[in-house]
Structure 1
Amino acid sequence: MKQIKTIIWIAIPVVLCLFSTASTAQDATEIIKKADQKWNGEKSSRGQMTMTIVRPEWKRTIVFKVWTLGDAYSMTLITKPAKEAGQTFLKREKEMWNWMPSIGRMIKLPPSMMGDGWMGSDYTNDDILKESSMVTDFVHTIIKEETIDEIPCWVIEMKPKEDAAIVWGKVVKWISKDEEYLMLKSTYYDEDDILVKTEYGKEIKDIGGRKLPTRIEIIPAEKDNQKTILITNEIEFNIPIKSGFFSQQQMKRLRK
């Protein structure tokens, strides 16, 4: 009987530990899901954004519109500068395309290009086209809690699942602990666990019927005087839009 009691007392902490780990993992995934829905919209979205690419010797600005439907569809139309206006990017399920009206050519983007900088910026093609899902393609773990600009945050480590086509070795996100689930900071690492870039969410405002950071700054590691700034000028969520909108024919029809 004494042996049985000893086994029980040893087993209880182990079981509680396993339960606690499973619960934390579930909580972390739920937090990421709510943060993702907050930014991308539960069903669909439409927005207009301004991106400024800053380099040591030059700076340029790109204005574009974007439409999304769930995780499977997205369309991005460049409206400025005039030289690149009309260029369109499409993600439809697992296929990605780029329409270049200046040369009348449709280009299919291979998965190997997802880690490349979009339009020469510090955003990747994957950031813009959303090939990967931060909810379903990663394993999430709460690793600590920190405060950013006096806002308490969960710090969640995201590691790619084995079968996911992810360009990062891991991603760490700081998400506000209030009901807003704001993504205030993200760090991106390569497969050797070396920091590649840091992303900051700033200028929190009410926009599109919800509170969001309207200014995103991406700062690459070990590159002085270089960054990309993304300003959300306007955005609507859960708009009526069908999957048929996301087609190669529509890419050619879109106008600024």
Structure 2
Amino acid sequence: MSKRLILFFVFSICIIGFAVRSQTLTAKEIITRCDDKSRGKTSQGEMTMTIVRPTWSRSITMKSWEKGRGLSLIVITAPAKDKGQVFLKIKTEMWNWLPSIERMIKIPPSMMLQSWMGSDFTNDDLIKESSIVKDYTHKLLGKETVRDMPCYKIEMMPLPEAAITWGKVIVWITVDGFDQWKAEYYDEDMSLINVLNAFNIKKMGDREIPTQLEIIPVDKKNNKTILEIRSVVYDQPIKDSFFSQQNMRTVSQRIK
């Protein structure tokens, strides 16, 4: 083999190696892709949440609207006793409209990790006050296969200034679709509290996403909450004025 050919092969290998390295994503880039895909510029959809307990279960249906990371609104459509309740988030502030007593309640930051509607999801989970991109540091721990899906395994540690009580979150993001496939939530003592699993990837709007989320509290036997996404549309224009306290009442009345 001539020296010229050898040099050509060495040069080619170096170029390929450089290209592979340049395409390697950081942990934060992976999390950002996952977050951008799940949110879109805007989203609006319908969901059913089923709360399962050892001796009973109940379901709640709802409609949701979201714009960016700062605006979110959810209205309960069933059951009858909760119908018309509205939850609004504007940046870091959150309100709850209770039609039965015609009263607006502001939810303080200290209650963001409280149970949402008696489920295993928190106020923060449903309204997404905290940002998995901005409020955490991110460390790529490697790759693992979870329920037949190759995933990036990423450790997220809350920033000191972030208003988050989780001590650590570990997430598994699918390599192919950048979907959050599993998550583990740890308290400040690094004890595992909740495990979240995603299932049933389906096409919703212009993208494929997991349409079922199941959260299990590890210290409460036979307890879980299942959130099923029934429909969702992304990137349709929504005016900022839609996300207002005045509109909470309007949306509530339309449900009735």
**TM value normalised by structure 2:** 0.88
For the aligned residues, what is the CA RMSD?
A: 1.5
- Runs (5+) with no aligned partner, structure 1: 1-22
**Alpha-carbon shift at residue 149 of structure 1 (Å):** 2.1
The one-letter amino acid paired with 2:59 is: T
Where do 4+ consecutive residues of structure 1 move more than 2 Å? none
Identity within the alignment, %: 52
1:65-144 alignment runs, 5 A limit: 65-144=63-142
Q: Does residue 35 in structure 1 map to residue 34 in structure 2?
A: yes
Residue-by-residue CA offset, 1:47-80 (whole Å, 9 max, x unaligned): 1000000001110000001100100000000000
How many Å separate the matches in 1 of 2:186 and 2:25?
Answer: 23
Aligned residue in 1 for 2:250: 253
Residues 68 and 74, structure 1, Cα contact 8 Å, conserved in 2: yes
Q: Does residue 181 in structure 1 map to residue 185 in structure 2?
A: no
**Alpha-carbon shift at residue 148 of structure 1 (Å):** 1.2
Residues 118 and 124, structure 1, Cα contact 8 Å, conserved in 2: yes
Residues 114 and 167, structure 1, Cα contact 8 Å, conserved in 2: no
How many Å separate the matches in 2 of 1:228 and 1:52?
Answer: 6
Secondary structure in 1 matching 2:114: coil
The one-letter amino acid paired with 1:161 is: L
How many Å separate the matches in 2 of 1:109 and 1:187?
Answer: 26
Residues 143 and 155, structure 1, Cα contact 8 Å, conserved in 2: yes
**Alpha-carbon shift at residue 26 of structure 1 (Å):** 7.0
Q: Which of 220, 224, 232 is the matching residue for 1:223?
A: 220
**TM value normalised by structure 1:** 0.88
How many Å separate the matches in 1 of 2:164 and 2:33?
Answer: 21
Residue-by-residue CA offset, 1:99-150 (whole Å, 9 max, x unaligned): 0000111000000101101000000000111110001111001012100122
Q: Which of 43, 46, 69 is the matching residue for 2:44?
A: 46
Aligned residue in 2 for 1:13: none
- Aligned pair count reads 232
**Alpha-carbon shift at residue 168 of structure 1 (Å):** 0.8
Residues 49 and 233, structure 1, Cα contact 8 Å, conserved in 2: yes
**Alpha-carbon shift at residue 242 of structure 1 (Å):** 1.6
